[in-house]
Structure 1
């Protein structure tokens, strides 16, 4: 495949997840009304159920893709995603809908594992971070348009048509991958699918200090993102009274996140992953602390003219964190990329999904719980990075040709 097509296809594979999450945000209130869910905070479970299925499924897909290759596993996962979305159209109860959302997330988890594995199969180091930044730039375009598409469907139809659109999008990506995506796993890197070999691969991942530290750090910082997504509809419509126009404000934040990912793809090969991501993480914490202070003195929420630009700036910084942390976690694990992607993805998405659900459920009509979550989680993320590296901002080992001592030292399993 041409380089541009590979990047675009991987981005669309990742975008299937953003579409399945963000397009439903405008529909949460109508889903709750149609399926008799009176507690508005419980409606957030439509997002959480998908994230939990998405996180859990990666544990299975990783080892299987390391044995049988990327293509077949990807196509099976997409098929599950499309079928679950199709059946979601006929949901008759909230429990049924949540179950189908979890199954849909389970299918979609294959796209996350395979997307990152394909990139790691083909690239390493800063080049991998650059490619992932381009992928994330396209991926972040989905949160710009998906809520507005969802809102448009809600104006002329119902949330059931949203499931149909998601299924069609998934089917299109599946057909594209089936026709064009080559097998990227080299035959010599295939691993036996036995309990011993899988446990060995898991041990390689979990005992690598760099990989494990950045995985936990990414889980905490993704908890921030999921917490905001869970509360977004309530914050914009209830706290700020934007009504159906809230999707425009939500999209503005996503646009600048996409710009940040693009800038990261250009800057990372010059400044290195560590300098960019560590600086952005500290900036994220400081900005959230300022936002919390303003919100507190304004009775629980900052004025809208302050909230939108500050929140947008916060998530611009996020664009320099998530991609680089993922690349740093994956870089020393190329020989077990499928299992590594699965373990890291499970810990990041499942853990981040639970953290985000807890933050979202504490919504009380103000920004205080959300911003407190931002600060606590960013502090935990900084601590995890420090424990992994023993330092911050050190770009000495931030290149393919100069491995970090921890990355260069093989584990007993290897």
Structure 2
């Protein structure tokens, strides 16, 4: 249940209830998850039909989307600071929808990758605008709580999306998957146009002059808390994307799950929803740092446990599932808090801040995930080693950001602003 009484911040305006607001925000953020997870079962068919026959070529359908998604984020935030959240959101959804139709008609693997990159570019607007809207309305622990509720709804998508993709393939063929994405974008466009309030008021909008953009960007990149947690989130996101990119190969090619793949994939993803609910209940009492730092160390501990067994090439399926469930439970506690910590000092430039943090974490995550995914050699060892390396880098980054001390209740280090309503 979503409990609005837990937050001291004002509720969303414009006649939309808190529950609908959170659900709509989650739906906007979930468009990217849907765009990836619904086609995992279709990747072999798409690659074979369009000429992507290399062993790991199918992963490029995910990577191209994520790189386009990263490229669109530097534009979405500043444009929404200038023109308002809703016009930029609508434009992004239209681009996404058109690219979905282009993917339906793609005659070659190269055209498919281009369509996927444009699709990702359009999807950047809903992702960036969603975070900016939440930051317009909430700050600090309140923002972390709202993001946890949104992620709890958001996680439903990767739980059910592979099964939806499987059903679509049974009913038709892989182009229908992209037709479904077109319908999802059209639905999100109609819902947001009719129900979402504009949270960037005219008097708060920033000019698009080089001086104004430069000042906003300079403020973002010189805020230690924002930069540190953005870099750390890039490492953590790399783990998630390396898993998503190779999950079909791991569970189908290595473990031979076949049609059970969507079930196992969804079960592992579901633990993040449980973690998001846990975070929403804990963060108000313990704070963003305590919860996320403990989860980050838990993630690393799970990786070190795998290392203690020598990173086995093909561990028992239950052991691998337990490892993935543990790490992604921790990820579900890390992500909303790291996102809130990056945005906490940037309320007056939420669009630029969301663009910077989203661009870096997505681009870094996509590149790390691609590198680990391309190392796939018919075993899970590259993935588990990759998880461990990225977890170590994330811990070191957060230690540097926090002046060598974890679990603070609020920032004490230079350059980490502490706004009203923060940690």
User: TM-score scaled to structure 1, two decimals?
Assistant: 0.95
CA RMSD of aligned residues (A): 1.5
Matched, 1:63 2:72: no
Query: Aligned match of 1:334 in 330, 333, 347?
Result: 347
SS in structure 1 at match of 2:333? coil
Shift of 1:391: 3.5
CA distance in 1, matches of 2:417, 2:249: 47
CA distance in 2, matches of 1:206, 1:355: 22
CA distance in 2, matches of 1:180, 1:376: 43
1:129 maps to: 144
Kindly report which structure 2 residues correspond to 1:201-240, keeping only aligned pairs within 5 A, or say none. Answer: 201-240=216-255
CA distance in 2, matches of 1:270, 1:367: 38
Query: Aligned match of 1:357 in 358, 370, 374?
Result: 370
Query: Aligned match of 2:30 in 2, 15, 22?
Result: 15
CA distance in 2, matches of 1:189, 1:394: 35
CA distance in 1, matches of 2:174, 2:340: 36
2:417 maps to: 408
CA distance in 1, matches of 2:308, 2:45: 34
Shift of 1:32: 1.3
CA distance in 2, matches of 1:67, 1:154: 42
Matched, 1:162 2:177: yes
2:335 maps to: 322
Matched, 1:369 2:382: yes
Shift of 1:310: 2.1
How many residue pairs get matched?
404
C-alpha offsets along residues 55-110 of structure 1, whole Å, 9 cap, x if unaligned? 11010111111111100000000010111111211111000000000000000000
Unaligned runs of 5+ in 2: 1-15
Kindly report which structure 2 residues correspond to 1:81-120, keeping only aligned pairs within 5 A, or say none. Answer: 81-120=96-135
SS in structure 1 at match of 2:105? coil
Shift of 1:388: 1.1
Q: Cα distance 1:248–1:294, how it changes in 2: closer, same or farther (>3 A)?
A: farther
SS in structure 2 at match of 1:220? helix
Matched, 1:382 2:395: yes
CA distance in 1, matches of 2:122, 2:413: 35
Contact 2:96–2:120 (CA under 8 A) maintained in structure 1: yes
CA distance in 2, matches of 1:392, 1:25: 40
SS in structure 2 at match of 1:168? helix
SS in structure 2 at match of 1:408? coil
CA distance in 2, matches of 1:118, 1:286: 35
